[in-house]
Structure 1
């Protein structure tokens, strides 16, 4: 089971227990674990509706539809929120959109039908003219003859289909309808007789039946009127708190608007006003801590966070709220570069309520702590002294000790390029060529025109038999210093090594093929070898060796071919 699903299940349990705030917190955590978990958005929408937060419920429902537009429940949640917001036309539109998007899902169709029935005005006499009315008319001696009269049947059907009750008034002048109506109320009378109930019936008052005679034993008893369910008892204290919280939240919103504009003192006043209305609401206190953080009043910010934590513990706030307080406290420590305290606060927040943003804060703070420790260690004089000790060890051919001292010099001053170059020279002596190459690259990143670094890189590449790279390095040296004698001599040395390899290839044929494959793994060599023009030239040289002279006369082509030769991909002779 994924963490998002587990959190969703915890939210469901809280919702069932009517602990809606905890349910919202759990569903929110599930969404943070999986931002596209549509079920968590749907369930949080239901929780918000239960809390009376219908705007939030609507926002979540729309998110459900955005993620999974063919899921019926998203449209049901949206319609429910819109109905509570009094937007009945929009709710009906949501049902219609859902039916279209889900190919007529039955759940949406049923909900729409129920909504339409509830929205229609009630007919107070509907219970009299239910489906049993036909049996009652047919079994009553005074009314059964009417069943053979089509206009009478149509009249009763019209009354059954009328939701407003106006049809009763329309047909009350018909003697047949009067007789049926009195029979249904439990009072038998001949057609055309003076009807004491007609006026009451016209006004929709079915209670007149109490004054009539009891029904005869031959008549079935009329269906009992449905008993309305009792209204839930109103918790006056909870109602008063909800009203107070609504006022406090409105004041807090004003504070938020001021906070966003940078009017921190005015925002603080609003948050304090909200707190005065509901002192046990953590949010208002925590917002004050945010103000103090932005104003740089760090000590007050910490004190306010501790106050918020005390209130949260007293009111048994959920884990997400506790984590939020600890995170704000950690951010306050971070602003002061109190890294150990910040890490402790963030890790405590993570234990209360694990989230990805808090984990990022922990990693960020640890990185900043390492960087700060490294900077605190900087010392140019001690770096120079360590370099001198490294030079002494190098001259004494104690290369491991030289590496140790050059490493210390780099820690003391990582911006001096010579420290990396000297350590690379020590690594070369130790045969640690990859480490030496890394140091040379770091040196050239600091000082790109440092000739000695290119010299050592060429030496490393030569030892690694990467002759094509070696040639590039010495050509760069010549571009920086056209008369550099060392670069010219090394170019000749490289050419001799390439010829020697071609005349007397080292290793077995399998080893030679493996070395060629390694050369072809170089992206630059791959691009050259795949060049259609190069392939055409190589085929021409293979079929007609005399063509090689003409091809090599082309400067751009000769450079490419010689590079492939230096890499060991092709051979001459």
Structure 2
């Protein structure tokens, strides 16, 4: 069975490697194994709790430390840090001052006191947007216990203590929100927000240079000014004259970082084998998956994708075991995605980008994910193209169309379009089937797509005009038929002229068709003037002059008909019954 001192040394080593949870376990066992109460063990465990931001537990241990040895300056450091983390600035100030009374050279106490003063000044100048009032509600915890979304959360004493700390330090909430998802749910509940509503990276290759990775102590992002003001400064555990274990760990970390720095230089010089050797050296000296991530970058640049993937898998496994920062694990997954993307294995790349975003969401990786998804969709479309299969689908659609099985004809022609998206016939044929199903707007869109693929495809123009006539869009139908006539004359020597003329007559007749056979001239005129084109012609000063002239000299109208533009307008008026009614 390990002695209290041996357990303390193990706890110190765990703390040095940032395994705070493991360190707590060792210090707890050491406390239990001690024959007499040991203030250093409580102090060290308090430091671990502070590092995990479990400030209430840190305060409990600090108070026990001071109780055992009230003359030990560092015990009050622990109490000051815990109170600062809880937002109890007055208590934090009092404890840091007490520490300085006992030891005027206590640097940590001086720095802690300065930090308290900064936070106090910051609070005076910064609004809390009603947070103080919200968290000052004496029934706050009870209300959260009554809410089904938050009642189970209130069983966690550390979370309750954290909420109570916001009464005196509402600004602390902003720095805690991202670290504890439960706080987001609690805030949404208090503000009456429904969290169930819908929510609304670099290149695809590995980076040309590995970004300067940071050691365990350095890798955390630089905290904002507000975060600096509301959390106690990092602290070390106490050794009571025995610093050998911590010194060895610190030396190992320093040596590992030096090896990593050398590896980075070699990487930038494209000396990848030598860089890998340095990263291996760093990993052997200190277990930080940053070194594995860097090693994978060098292996990737060598083109050794399989080895790079193995390294990254090891980084993830070791990272879980070492309780590494989730951002580092996210980076490992992202580099796996980069490797798969480089090899054009887009499905795997998407899988690992999604895993990376699950660990830590960044705009960079989200962009890479979206790019891969678009490329995969495009790739799948291109892989599906098959002219032979397209022809089979066309014949199948023709057979269904002949049997008047319009739905299956649409299905078959859709398959043809997927197999041959550049073949205009697929869109035109599907338009014909859609028209039979009375889906005229969709038919028009398909005809327009067919014309886009083949501007000389006269049949597509005719089907489009037919659909436009069906929805009584006669003006556009006539415009489409004019285009059809031009294309037919250019490419088919007028082979479809008769069909075009029939459709033009149909469009014109139906456009101005009287609802009854016994319509007075006045009724005809009134109905015709509801047509925008007729109304525009009648309001045209030139046409007004021509029509007035024709009243006195009908032969003059024939002369004006020689002008194609005038002729077209007069034909519209004749079709509408305006000229026949007013000038016969």
Q: Given the two structures, how large is their TM-score scaled by the length of structure 2?
A: 0.47
Q: Given the two structures, how large is their TM-score scaled by the length of structure 1?
A: 0.48
Larger Rg: 1
| Structure with more contact order per residue of length (Cα contacts < 8 Å, sep ≥ 6) | 2
